[in-house]
Structure 1
C-alpha cells in the first residue's frame, strides 16, 4: 500500500469521509500570530462548521469563509487585520486541516512520495491553502504528525513554519488531532498558532 493510501486509511478512510457533509468543531486558539495582526481575541474560543464537499467554513457569530470569495488584498503587508481577514485565514486553514489527507485522492492534487515517510503535495488553485506546495510527515502507522509550509498571508515568503499534531483521538469515525502547534521552521519557539479542539461532530 502506498503512503498516500495508508494515510487516508489511518485517518478513517475515503468511504467514511464521503459519508460526511459537515464537521462542527469547537476550538480554542492562541499563539503570537493573530496578536501580531492586532486580532488577539477574535478566535480565542470558537464554534465552526465546515462543509466537506466545498471549502466553506462558518464561524458562528463571526463570519463565513468561502473559497469563491476573493482573498482580502494586502494581508501579508498589513499589521492590522480586520475580522474579515481573520475569517479568511482561519477558514482556509481549518478546512485544509480537516480535509487532509482525504483530498490527496483527488485527481488534480499532485502527490509525490519522498524519503522518510513524507509526501510533497501540490494543491490546485481550487483548494485554498497556506501555500501551493507543502510537505507532510507521517509516523510508522501512517498518522500525520507534522506539516511544513509557508503561511503566505501572514508574512509572505518569510512565514515558513512547522505545524505539529498531537493527541490523536477517534471521533465520529475520523482520527482527529486535538492539539496542534505551529512554530517557525526548525525552531521550537515561539508558538505562532495553537489550536485545541474541545468538541468535534461529523454528520
Structure 2
C-alpha cells in the first residue's frame, strides 16, 4: 500500500468521501493574522460549509446575521443567506487582487472571503483532495520532531486548485494521520507556515482533526512557537 493510500484509508477511505456532498461545522478562530490584516473579529465564531468534491465553500456571519460569503477559485461573493441568494458584491479572479501584497497589507472582506474559503476547503477536504485531477503526490524522506518519526508526502496542486501554494508538504504519523502541513502563503508575500493538526475525530465514517494551530516557519523548517498566526477549533460537525 502506498503512503497516499494509507492516509486516505486512515481518514475513512475514498469511497466514503465520494458519498459526501458537504461538510458543515462551527469554528472558533484566533491568532495574530486577522489583526495584521485588519479583519480581526469578523470570523471569530462562524459556520462553515465546504464541498469536498468541488472547490466551494461558504462562511456564515461574514458581514453579520443574514449574510454569507460564497467561494470558488474564480469568484467570491457576499450574498444574502437564503435560497436563492441575492448577491451584494463579488470579485472575479480574486487571487489577482493580492498582487504586490506583503504580510502587512490589509484585506477587504472579499479578500478575506477568498482566503478563508480556500483555506478551509484545503484543510477539511484533505486527504481526499490529494486524489483530484491534476494533483500530484510524492513520498519524501522521514522527519523527526518531538521524539516522533513522521513520514512526509509532497503535494503539488495544479493552477486550477485554489490553495496557499502549489507545493506543500504533509507530515504523517504511524497511524496514517496528517499531523503537520508546510506551505508558503503566496497571497501574503510567500509567508512560510507550519500548520499542525490534532484531536482527530471520526464523524459518520470520516476522520477530521478538530484542533489546528499555525506557526511561522523558520529557515530550518522549524515552527516558531512564539509566533502563532492562526488557531482553529471546530465543533458541531455534520455531513450531508
TM range (shorter): over 0.9
In structure 1, what is the equivalent of residue 179 of structure 2?
145
Distance 1:106 1:197 in 2: 25
Q: CA deviation at 1:107?
A: 4.0
In structure 1, what is the equivalent of residue 110 of structure 2?
84
In structure 1, what is the equivalent of residue 139 of structure 2?
113
Q: Please, which of 57, 65, 71 is the counterpart of residue 94 of structure 2?
A: 71
In structure 2, what is the equivalent of residue 31 of structure 1?
31
In structure 2, what is the equivalent of residue 132 of structure 1?
166
| Structure 1 residue ranges (4+ consecutive) displaced by more than 3 angstroms after TM superposition | none
Higher relative contact order, structure no. (Cα contacts within 8 Å, ≥ 6 residues apart): 1
1:198 paired to 2:235? yes
Q: CA deviation at 1:171?
A: 1.2
Q: CA deviation at 1:59?
A: 0.9
1:181 paired to 2:204? no
Q: CA deviation at 1:53?
A: 2.3
Distance 1:124 1:149 in 2: 15
Classify the secondary structure of the residue corresponding to 2:163.
coil
Kept after mapping to 1: 8 A contact 2:53/2:129: no
* Deviation larger for 117-126 or 104-113: 104-113
Which one has a bigger Cα radius of gyration? 2
In structure 1, what is the equivalent of residue 19 of structure 2?
19
Classify the secondary structure of the residue corresponding to 1:35.
helix
In structure 2, what is the equivalent of residue 46 of structure 1?
46
Task: Tell me the C-alpha RMSD between the 2 structures.
Answer: 1.3
Distance 2:18 2:165 in 1: 25
Write the deviation string for residues 119-145 of structure 1: whole angstroms up to 9, x where unpaired: 111001111110000000000111000
In structure 2, what is the equivalent of residue 160 of structure 1?
192
Q: CA deviation at 1:52?
A: 2.1
Between structures 1 and 2, the one with greater strand share: 2
In structure 1, what is the equivalent of residue 126 of structure 2?
100
Which consecutive residues of structure 1, in runs of 5 or more, have no partner in the other structure?
none
What TM-score, normalized to structure 2? 0.80
Distance 2:27 2:54 in 1: 21
